[in-house]
């Protein structure tokens, strides 16, 4: 959202799609196949949190048959944010220029990834958005849409950020953007991880673009959303917003 028209952006470089998994045995093969078909030049990193259903083993089989598929085996379930941060560091160390967040369950459609990458040619961060014109959700109950819209609206107002879909998780980052976000300081692990990164990007002055996406509810497996994740998000966003306002007041010159 920050003005990036006067900036000069270099080439994107190699693309790494990071797919965190925990018990996604039913979904991992279809999503990898769709990514490879949609963006054949992209590489994939499956960051598996020691899934008891064998997702990690299936990912190893995919990697063994395709040199563009990689697997990061993690010790256990530590949250979405921790998995993405580990994937970001892996990708940066391996020399990738673009790092993409994508769910394993098909809710983020790989067929829309080319549009995100095209937009990234003139931005630091591109966010797939359900709540801008052209964006939509499919097969969601009204209650879940209300929670998601409400969470984005609350975060936007509390943190004074311009994005309409602050909580969305389909994103494409330039490597330099992630390096400038202070990843070592990110402590949020669940739902509010996405809010945290978006807020950091705006505060750091990066040019952020939202592009419309169609979010499709998963057909197989169980959602990882829980009440505790929502409570963590509400608590942290409120704390960030209050702290930011207090700091602004303290910086005002005395009359």
Cα–Cα nearest to 199, from 251, 125, 252: 125
Cα–Cα nearest to 189, from 145, 150, 222, 231: 231
pLDDT tens digit string along 160-219? 889 999 989 999 999 999 999 999 888 776 668 899 999 999 999 999 999 999 999 876
Structure tokens at 36: 């490879």
Cα–Cα nearest to 45, from 59, 61, 64, 27: 59
Three-state secondary-structure class, residue 249? helix
pLDDT tens digit string along 110-139? 999 999 999 999 999 999 999 999 999 998
Mean pLDDT within 242-249 = 68
pLDDT tens digit string along 44-89? 999 999 999 999 999 999 999 999 999 999 999 888 899 999 999 9
Q: Please, what is the Cα angle at 115 between 110 and 116, to 5 degrees?
A: 80
What domains does the chain contain, in order, with CATH numbers?
15-243 (3.90.550.10)
Q: Indicate the angle between helix axes 28-38 and 113-120, nearest 10 degrees.
A: 50
Q: Please, what is the Cα angle at 49 between 45 and 51, to 5 degrees?
A: 110
Q: Is 77 exposed, middle or buried (0-12, 13-18, 19+ CB in 10 A)?
A: middle
């Amino acid at each position: 959202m920050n003005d990036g028209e006067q900036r000069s952006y270099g080439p994107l470089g190699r693309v790494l799609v990071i797919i965190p998994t925990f018990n996604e045995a039913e979904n991992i093969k279809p999503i990898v196949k769709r990514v490879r078909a949609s963006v054949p030049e992209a590489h994939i990193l499956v960051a598996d949190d020691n899934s008891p259903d064998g997702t990690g083993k299936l990912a190893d089989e995919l990697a063994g048959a395709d040199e563009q598929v990689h697997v990061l085996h993690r010790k256990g379930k530590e949250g979405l944010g921790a998995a993405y941060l580990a994937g970001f560091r892996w990708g940066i160390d391996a020399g990738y220029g673009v790092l993409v967040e994508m769910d394993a369950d098909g809710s983020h459609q790989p067929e829309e990834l080319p549009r995100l990458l095209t937009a990234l040619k003139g931005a630091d961060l591109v966010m797939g958005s359900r709540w801008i014109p052209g964006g939509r959700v499919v097969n969601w109950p009204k209650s879940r849409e209300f929670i998601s819209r409400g969470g984005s609206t609350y975060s936007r107002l509390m943190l004074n950020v311009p994005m309409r879909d602050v909580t969305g998780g389909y994103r494409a980052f330039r490597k330099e953007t992630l390096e400038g976000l202070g990843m070592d300081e990110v402590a949020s692990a669940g739902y509010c991880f996405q809010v945290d990164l978006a807020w950091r990007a705006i505060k750091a002055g990066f040019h952020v673009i939202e592009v419309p996406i169609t979010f499709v509810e998963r057909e197989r497996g169980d959602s990882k959303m829980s009440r505790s994740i929502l409570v963590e998000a509400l608590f942290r966003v409120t704390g960030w917003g209050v702290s930011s306002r207090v700091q602004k007041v303290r910086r005002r010159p005395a009359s």
